[in-house]
């Protein structure tokens, strides 16, 4: 027969014996008993039959947070493998972040991930600013040869046309760069 003891509200020891040993408060387990050491007593009905985990979760006697969880700030992933493992749901959610979206935040009120339009707009502006500055640098680099010839008074019409073409590009882009830099400073 299968015997068990209880300590601090949990199954403590389990033995298989033909007779009940002396010294501890041994209880006889029912046939087909599936209790294990460490199980809480309130996980069993009055006949000591184990209540299924799904029912224990509904009753609030067990926690089932198994699965993937995502940090609401960093979107890092954490996986919970075991029953009764708690997680701080103020910091983590089991709702999967938006796919292929770098700029998102978790909206607590809506309980879902949303696009962080402010950060996305800021990143787009920074990207555009970088492209515009790169275009200006390229135009300035292309002006060097014609500028040297102009300074030496050896420039042809083609040389001055090239210099003027790139100078027009620079003059057109500088106000856009200044505007974007101001917008990014105030963001």
Q: Domain range for residue 162?
A: 118-186
3-13 pLDDT, tens digit each: 999 999 999 99
Q: Give the pairing type, strands 10-16 and 27-28.
A: unpaired
94-103 pLDDT, tens digit each: 999 999 999 9
The answer, yes or no, to whether residue 20 has pLDDT greater than 90, is no
Asked if 123 and 108 sit in the same domain, the reply is: no
- Name the domain count of the chain: 3
76-97 pLDDT, tens digit each: 999 999 999 999 999 999 999 9
> What's the whole-number mean pLDDT along residues 170-182?
95
Asked if 109 and 124 sit in the same domain, the reply is: no
Asked if 109 and 122 sit in the same domain, the reply is: no
Closest CA to 89 of 78, 100, 99: 78
> What's the whole-number mean pLDDT along residues 12-38?
88
Asked if 94 and 153 sit in the same domain, the reply is: no
Kindly report whether the global pTM for this prediction surpasses the value 0.75.
Answer: no
CB burial class (10 A; 0-12, 13-18, 19+) of residue 151? Answer: exposed
Asked if 141 and 170 sit in the same domain, the reply is: yes
**Whole-Å CA distances, 123 to 20, 47, 107, 120:** 73, 64, 20, 5
Average pLDDT of every residue of the chain? 94
Asked if 125 and 182 sit in the same domain, the reply is: yes
Asked if 125 and 107 sit in the same domain, the reply is: no
Tell me phi and psi for residue 71, to 5 degrees: -65, 130
Asked if 129 and 180 sit in the same domain, the reply is: yes
d(CA 101, CA 114): 9
CA Rg, the chain, in Å? 36
End-of-domain residue from the set 16, 41, 58: 58
The answer, yes or no, to whether residue 110 has pLDDT greater than 90, is yes
Asked if 110 and 124 sit in the same domain, the reply is: no
């Amino acid at each position: 027969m299968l015997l068990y003891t209880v300590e601090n509200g949990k199954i403590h020891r389990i033995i298989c014996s033909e007779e009940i040993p002396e010294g501890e408060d041994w209880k006889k387990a029912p046939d087909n008993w599936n209790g294990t050491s460490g199980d809480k007593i309130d996980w069993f009905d009055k006949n000591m039959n184990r209540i299924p985990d799904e029912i224990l979760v509904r009753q609030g006697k067990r926690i089932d947070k198994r699965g993937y969880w995502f940090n609401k700030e960093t979107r890092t992933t954490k996986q919970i493998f075991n029953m009764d493992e708690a997680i701080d749901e103020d910091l983590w959610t089991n709702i999967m972040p938006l796919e292929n979206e770098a700029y998102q935040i978790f909206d607590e009120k809506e309980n879902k991930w949303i696009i962080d339009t402010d950060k996305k707009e800021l990143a787009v502006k920074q990207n555009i600013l970088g492209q515009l500055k790169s275009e200006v640098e390229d135009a300035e680099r292309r002006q060097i040869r014609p500028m040297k010839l102009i300074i030496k008074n050896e420039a042809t019409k083609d040389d001055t046309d090239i210099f003027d073409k790139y100078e027009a590009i620079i003059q057109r882009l500088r106000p856009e760069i200044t505007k974007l830099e101001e917008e990014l400073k105030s963001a």
